[in-house]
Structure 1
Amino acid sequence: MLLQSPRGTRDWLPEEAYVKRLVSEKIRKVFESYGYGEIITPAFEYLELLKAKAGEEVVNQIYYFKDKAGRELGLRFEMTTPIARIVASKPDLAKPIRFYYIQPVWRYEEPQRGRLREFWQAGIELFGVAGPEGDAEVVAVTYDALTESGVQEFEISVNDRRVVEDILLSNSVAQERLPDALRILDKLDKFGESYIIDEFEKIGVSREKSSQMLIKLKESRLDIELSTPEGKRGLDHLSRVVDLLKSVYGVNVKVDYSIVRGLGYYTGFVFEVKPKTSSDVGSIAGGGRYDDLVSTLGGPKLPATGMAIGVDRLLEVLKLQGKPTITYNEVDVYIIPLAKKQETVAKAVEIAKKLRREGLKVIVEGTDRSLAKALEYASKKGSRFVIIIGEKELSSGTLTIRDMKEWVEHKLQEEKALEMIINSRT
């Protein structure tokens, strides 16, 4: 049992970590190209902060504990709330504020494909832009980041919570039960319509009204009839975001009034991204507007919108699509000093330093195993070249080079040998 990682967590071995880093760096490049700056927050926050606007279901998923001084703390379950805390505590930050992150988060929920209890998110937060331009930018960044990562054929579904609330209120959902109704509706994709109708009946909505409501939520038009001023404002905002995305960014999206997002701090525009293939993985990105969060935490009233990409799920989708196609090797050059004499070891370290300065990954053999065993190990590590240094090489100023890819051996003067290895990368 002690040799297993805790349930809902995983280990990242070098090849897996390398792929994650490659994909993460592609996403980072897109974030920074839009002018977002990286932010890093503590892994744990005060529990009261995390519970502020999370919603009942997410609160129950927080890993919480008391420290030795009795303070109630919790591991962050997403990055928006900690970042909103920073913004609330620093009112002098120039607006708009653009932050990005690539960090792990934790939720005590049932582990599923591409989503464990510890998982990585890459996202952005935009503070200080109230209009549809802010939401359009966030969706555009998401689109570019996913495209740059290599994922193929994904669909972006958009909505505005104010529209959904209008539809719910028009179908006999009481004002005080709106949070419950939104929480139920968020499970539509996971559990289906029958579950939604059963759960709505528990909060006082007839099965007939629930069925009518689900029919209206399936609409994808932007000219639906709404009854509340707030719902109409939400529909207008949504229409403008959709138009901006198409006309300015060249991004086509689908209107889906059943998208609500599970976190309690969302106030308006929301969206989700799902792959058209590998649909069982679930959404790979999502986000929306949370205009009240900063003020709820004690800061000024400040409009805000953002998104997060589920890195683990994204990697799962890329794997299913046969991407990214990489050749991973832990080491480029493996140097074997024969006889382990001080002179050969010193030369091996000298050569290694020169190659490392050129950006190559180099290991110097440090055991007493045989040449055959050392060569076998170098092959398993994926080393392209093996340099063998013995007394003959020292006296003649040469290096014996084995090309493990072409399976040929060269004896060259040191300068020529290093030049050949360095130039082999191009």
Structure 2
Amino acid sequence: MDLPRGMRDIEPRESSTIEYVRQRFVETSNLFGFQFMEPSPIELVSVIETKSGPSIKNEIYYFTDKGDREVALRFDFTIGLTRYAVSQKSMRLPAKFSTFGGVWRYDEPQKGRYRFFHQWDVEIYGEPNIESDAEIIDFTSKFFASLKLQNIVIDICDRELIESHVRNIFKSNSDSVVSDILRAVDKIQKKRKQEIIQEYQGKGYSVSDLEKVLEFSQIKGTPKEIEKKIDVSRLQNWNKILQLFESLKNRGVENIRINFGIVRGLDYYSGIVFEVFDSSSDLGALVGGGRYDTLTKAFGRNDLGATGAAGGVERIAHSIEHQRIKIHSDSSRVWVVFVNEDMKKIATSIASQLRLKGVAAEVDLTGKSLKKQMEMASSSRYVIIAAPKEYADNSVIVRNMKDGSEKQIKIESVLNNPRSSLQL
């Protein structure tokens, strides 16, 4: 039987990787003082349109419910967290929220991206300031470090800086022109430059002006490297970027650079923006984030600033697999095997009591031969063997699966202090 296009079953190995990411995320969230919550999985379409406009219907799962209301499955967490935050009039600021879960998007399936996938999200609500932006980027950097991922690069830019540059090049104050050109900049990472030029030439834009903007969007590097390439004195908000870098350096965040091609595709971003890449992979951005004060204003809270980040968990899981980071290990798991049917009940009891002590233990459920049981237990660190002779002495055999050595240990010792007895 087939599944709908873009859907799939998440098999045990990948599910284990997703859980590994979730655990590291929750741990890092706690370190930074984020409050974990889960927004509603269903939103009113009208609320979602506040963030992304009517065209968002082309990208989401939505339907009319029995009350004749247009509702949609959540397509990210920012909308739900922001809806919640703006409704909390007495909320202590700054408020820091984090969440992790599934989202749905009706877009074209691609490598590492499906129509149902998992996201993590962190947001800070309160008075707009550079330290909040730095906190989000610092969190992201340390979260990826906790995952043991290498070659992680955080590309940072400022939306207002790029918008100002576009206005100067095109000599236009039109918001629609700026938005259109920023979409061209956002496409440069995914499409060939000539394709973009042809597309925008057909819209009536100056080719020379567009080339200037696209050339500018290719500039990357540290503040000092960029200051050697161009005259930064004419760039709006350059000092803000310098302040951000100074804060991040003070926090020990080193894997950062300026990238004038990072604008984020959504119009509600209003300040610092950033994306995270695995430089050893071609998957694209693993994380996107930035400041979006315009969204809280659209929800009626002019007094509330917002900054945050979100990452696709399946893409991160792909990078974990690509970098061969070992997270699936049975080395701490104990197997309890039995030499005959009479010992099966004893083995099951031992396994159950080990679990009560917090030790991961498995036992065969179907009465396999001892040879088959040992094959199943081959990746474990220790195997406890329940045999009649040793059981008569209230003991079991413990085999070290790494070196094959065996010793006889009293059952009472194994069950009372399993971690010490088994050297777990």
Provide the C-alpha distance between the structure 2 equivalents of 1:57 and 1:405, rounded to a whole number of angstroms.
59
Q: Which residue of 1 aligns with 2:350?
A: 351
Paired residue type of 1:61: E
2:249 aligned with 1:246: yes
Which stretches of structure 1, 4 residues or longer, exceed 6 Å deviation after superposition?
none
**Residues matched between the structures, number:** 413
Q: Which residue of 2 aligns with 1:16?
A: 14
Paired residue type of 2:294: D
Q: Which residue of 2 aligns with 1:257?
A: 260
Provide the C-alpha distance between the structure 1 equivalents of 2:25 and 2:142, rounded to a whole number of angstroms.
8
Q: Which residue of 2 aligns with 1:65?
A: 63
User: Which shows bigger deviation, 178-187 or 370-379?
Assistant: 370-379
Q: Structure 1 residues 218, 378: closer, same or farther in 2, change over 3 A? A: closer
Q: Shift in Å at residue 79 of structure 1?
A: 1.0
Q: Which residue of 2 aligns with 1:145?
A: 143
Q: Structure 1 residues 397, 225: closer, same or farther in 2, change over 3 A? A: closer
Alignment of 1:23-62 (within 5 A): 23-54=21-52, 58-62=56-60
Provide the C-alpha distance between the structure 1 equivalents of 2:214 and 2:44, rounded to a whole number of angstroms.
39
Q: Which residue of 2 aligns with 1:180?
A: 180
Q: Which 5+ residue runs of structure 1 have no aligned equivalent?
A: none
Identity %: 30
Q: Which residue of 2 aligns with 1:361?
A: 360
Pick aligned residue for 1:399 from 396, 407, 413: 396
2:127 aligned with 1:129: yes
Q: Shift in Å at residue 128 of structure 1?
A: 0.6
Q: Which residue of 2 aligns with 1:216?
A: 216
Provide the C-alpha distance between the structure 2 equivalents of 1:238 and 1:59, rounded to a whole number of angstroms.
35
User: Which shows bigger deviation, 411-420 or 46-55?
Assistant: 411-420
The 8 Å contact of residues 159 and 257 in structure 1, kept in 2 or not, is answered as yes
The 8 Å contact of residues 24 and 147 in structure 2, kept in 1 or not, is answered as yes
Q: Structure 1 residues 289, 363: closer, same or farther in 2, change over 3 A? A: same
Q: Which residue of 1 aligns with 2:419?
A: 422
2:103 aligned with 1:105: yes
Pick aligned residue for 2:410 from 388, 409, 413: 413
Provide the C-alpha distance between the structure 2 equivalents of 1:35 and 1:188, rounded to a whole number of angstroms.
37
Q: Deviations over 1:306-332 (max 9, x none)?
A: 112322222222222221355236952
The 8 Å contact of residues 99 and 121 in structure 2, kept in 1 or not, is answered as yes
User: Which shows bigger deviation, 392-401 or 86-95?
Assistant: 392-401
Q: Which residue of 2 aligns with 1:316?
A: 318
Paired residue type of 2:326: P
Q: Which residue of 1 aligns with 2:223?
A: none
RMSD (Å), alpha carbons: 2.9
Alignment of 1:369-380 (within 5 A): 369-379=368-378
Q: Which residue of 2 aligns with 1:164?
A: 162
Provide the C-alpha distance between the structure 1 equivalents of 2:284 and 2:143, rounded to a whole number of angstroms.
18
Paired residue type of 1:152: Q
Q: Structure 1 residues 376, 216: closer, same or farther in 2, change over 3 A? A: closer
Pick aligned residue for 1:90 from 51, 64, 88: 88
Provide the C-alpha distance between the structure 2 equivalents of 1:12 and 1:175, rounded to a whole number of angstroms.
43
Q: Structure 1 residues 179, 420: closer, same or farther in 2, change over 3 A? A: same
User: Which shows bigger deviation, 293-302 or 402-411?
Assistant: 402-411
Q: Match of 1:53, SS?
A: helix
Provide the C-alpha distance between the structure 2 equivalents of 1:141 and 1:373, rounded to a whole number of angstroms.
47
Q: Which residue of 2 aligns with 1:75?
A: 73
Provide the C-alpha distance between the structure 1 equivalents of 2:251 and 2:362, rounded to a whole number of angstroms.
51
Q: Could you tell me the TM-score, scaled by structure 2's length? A: 0.86
Paired residue type of 2:6: G
Provide the C-alpha distance between the structure 2 equivalents of 1:16 and 1:382, rounded to a whole number of angstroms.
20
Q: Shift in Å at residue 50 of structure 1?
A: 1.7
The 8 Å contact of residues 55 and 262 in structure 1, kept in 2 or not, is answered as no
Paired residue type of 2:306: A
Q: Shift in Å at residue 169 of structure 1?
A: 2.0
Paired residue type of 2:136: V
The 8 Å contact of residues 337 and 365 in structure 1, kept in 2 or not, is answered as no
2:203 aligned with 1:200: no
The 8 Å contact of residues 102 and 116 in structure 2, kept in 1 or not, is answered as yes
